[in-house]
């Protein structure tokens, strides 16, 4: 479909990683969430100049459901939602920060709304479609049907993340071409069903109408092979690109990611208001504690905490630092160039297939 050499899709918020993976024979996919439309334009221009004509994609977040879907344009929405954040939540947060020596701030909440509303993600889609992208992915629920149609008009394939066969069916119904079937072990927003159980479910449900990629827990070649054995036609990866040479992952998070085992993640609402997998730290624990006021719905939870996350990044004892990452973090123990990660994945994949073939013939 894309003329890529290896069936490896690499989700990253870092343009350097996207370029490195696409140039190495996989497909880099840029997460647009944290960029304004103007910034995204600059990122994609840079990618176009450096990717050497190889295919790449852009990933946006247009959730099917969120607070404020009917509250007007982005600016109006931001103001209204900010007024809806309870004082109790603000107080809990400031106390937690103070306990960990994080300094106060007088900055404005800034871009706290991010690209995860229809109002803020649409301009990103418009920017993306002005570039020679091969793929537009949506990370939360089925994208609006008119966005799918618009992408198709531009000759761009559309991918959607799904965490159940039922969600995959809904996506195919609005015209999505590629289902990224993502198991609970994945980093970031994730459902409850494991990759092992989910992939055959999704392939049986929509495999004749869409390409299915396996996601969640994939960071080594054996896992790519397992995803394909389950019926997928390729692998979607994310976490493993956080610790490559090219990544712009916050410096405070890197040693924590390298040291973590596969038991050190937790699925929590403490970042975005929807369940997402993160490094288990004092942050995720505090929000689960008895003192916690509970989570706000998306996008208010992140609006509440976005300023705090910046402050945590600059000061404090480091205990609150967390990061979205999957259970595969346990095998991310070494910083390597992205191209090396692609080649290692494929070498181990081939090895796994050869072992399987030998075992099966012997039986």
Task: Name the site residues for a copy of itself (rule: CB under 8 A).
Answer: 5-7, 164-166, 183-185, 191-201, 216-218, 220, 222-223, 225-231, 233, 261-263, 326-328, 330-331, 349-350, 352-353, 355-357, 359-360, 363
- Shortest CB 222 distance to a copy of itself, Å: 5
The nearer residue to a copy of itself, 68 or 221, going by C-beta atoms, is 221
Choose between 231 and 318: whose C-beta lies nearer to a copy of itself.
Answer: 231
Nearest approach in angstroms of CB 7 to a copy of itself is 8
Name the H helices within the chain.
15-23, 37-50, 74-83, 87-99, 118-129, 145-153, 165-173, 195-206, 221-229, 253-259, 282-288, 300-314, 338-362
CB of 157 or CB of 167, closer to a copy of itself: 167
Nearest distance from C-beta of residue 200 to a copy of itself, angstroms: 5
Q: Between residues 133 and 212, which has the closer beta carbon with respect to a copy of itself?
A: 212
- State the minimum distance, in angstroms, from the CB of residue 270 to a copy of itself: 17
CB of 116 to a copy of itself, least distance (A): 23
**Closer to a copy of itself at the Cβ: 102 or 215?**
215
Q: Which residue has the tokens 């970031």?
A: 188
What value, to the nearest 5°, has the Cα angle with vertex 251 and ends 218 and 309?
Answer: 90
What is the DSSP code string of 299-356?
A: THHHHHHHHHHHHHHHSS-STT---B--GGGGG--S-B-HHHHHHHHHHHHHHHHHHH
Residue 68 burial (CB < 10 Å; 0-12/13-18/19+)? buried
Give whichever of 172 and 226 is closer to a copy of itself, judged by the CB atom.
226
* CB proximity list for 217: less than 8 A, separation 6 or greater: 183, 185, 186, 194, 195, 223, 326, 327, 328
Nearest to 262 by CA among 329, 186, 191: 329
Q: Find the shortest distance in angstroms from Cβ 28 to a copy of itself.
A: 19
In terms of Cβ atoms closer than 10 Å to its own Cβ (0-12, 13-18, 19+), residue 77 is buried
Q: How far is the CB of 213 from a copy of itself (least distance, A)?
A: 14
Token look-up 């030998």 returns 358
Nearer to a copy of itself, 107 or 290 (CB): 290
Residue 182: CB minimum distance to a copy of itself, A:
11
Residue 218 vs residues 9, 159, 200, 251: alpha-carbon distances, Å? 11, 18, 16, 24
Give the residue with the Cβ less far from a copy of itself, 174 or 225.
Answer: 225
């Amino acid at each position: 479909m894309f003329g890529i050499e290896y069936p490896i899709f690499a989700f990253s918020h870092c343009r350097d990683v996207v370029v490195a993976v696409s140039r190495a024979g996989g497909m880099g996919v840029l997460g647009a969430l944290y960029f304004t439309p103007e910034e995204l334009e600059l990122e994609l221009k840079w990618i176009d100049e450096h990717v050497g004509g190889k295919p790449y994609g852009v990933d946006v977040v247009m959730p099917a459901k969120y607070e404020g879907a009917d509250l007007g344009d982005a600016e109006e929405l931001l103001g209204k939602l900010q007024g809806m954040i309870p004082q109790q939540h603000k107080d809990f947060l400031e106390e937690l920060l103070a306990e960990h020596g994080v300094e106060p701030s007088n900055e404005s909440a800034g871009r706290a709304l991010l690209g995860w509303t229809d109002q803020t993600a649409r301009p990103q889609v418009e920017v993306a479609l002005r570039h020679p992208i091969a793929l537009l992915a949506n990370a939360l629920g089925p994208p609006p049907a008119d966005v799918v149609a618009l992408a198709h008009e531009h000759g761009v394939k559309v991918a959607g993340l799904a965490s159940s066969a039922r969600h995959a069916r809904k996506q195919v119904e609005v015209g999505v071409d590629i289902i990224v079937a993502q198991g609970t072990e994945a980093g970031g927003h994730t459902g409850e069903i494991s990759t092992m159980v989910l992939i055959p479910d999704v392939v049986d449900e929509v495999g004749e109408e869409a390409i299915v990629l396996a996601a969640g827990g994939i960071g080594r070649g054996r896992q790519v092979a397992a995803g394909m054995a389950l019926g997928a036609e390729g692998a979607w990866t994310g976490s493993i690109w956080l610790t490559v040479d090219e990544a712009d992952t916050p410096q405070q998070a890197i040693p924590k990611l390298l040291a973590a085992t596969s038991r050190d993640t937790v699925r929590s609402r403490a970042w975005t208001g929807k369940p997402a997998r993160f490094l288990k730290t004092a942050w995720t624990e505090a929000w689960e504690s008895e003192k916690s006021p509970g989570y706000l719905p998306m996008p208010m939870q992140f609006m509440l905490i976005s300023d705090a996350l910046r402050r945590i990044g600059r000061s404090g004892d480091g205990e609150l630092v967390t990061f979205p990452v999957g259970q595969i973090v346990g095998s991310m123990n070494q910083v390597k160039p992205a191209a090396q990660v692609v080649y290692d994945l494929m070498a181990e994949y081939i090895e796994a297939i050869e072992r399987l073939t030998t075992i099966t013939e012997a039986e």
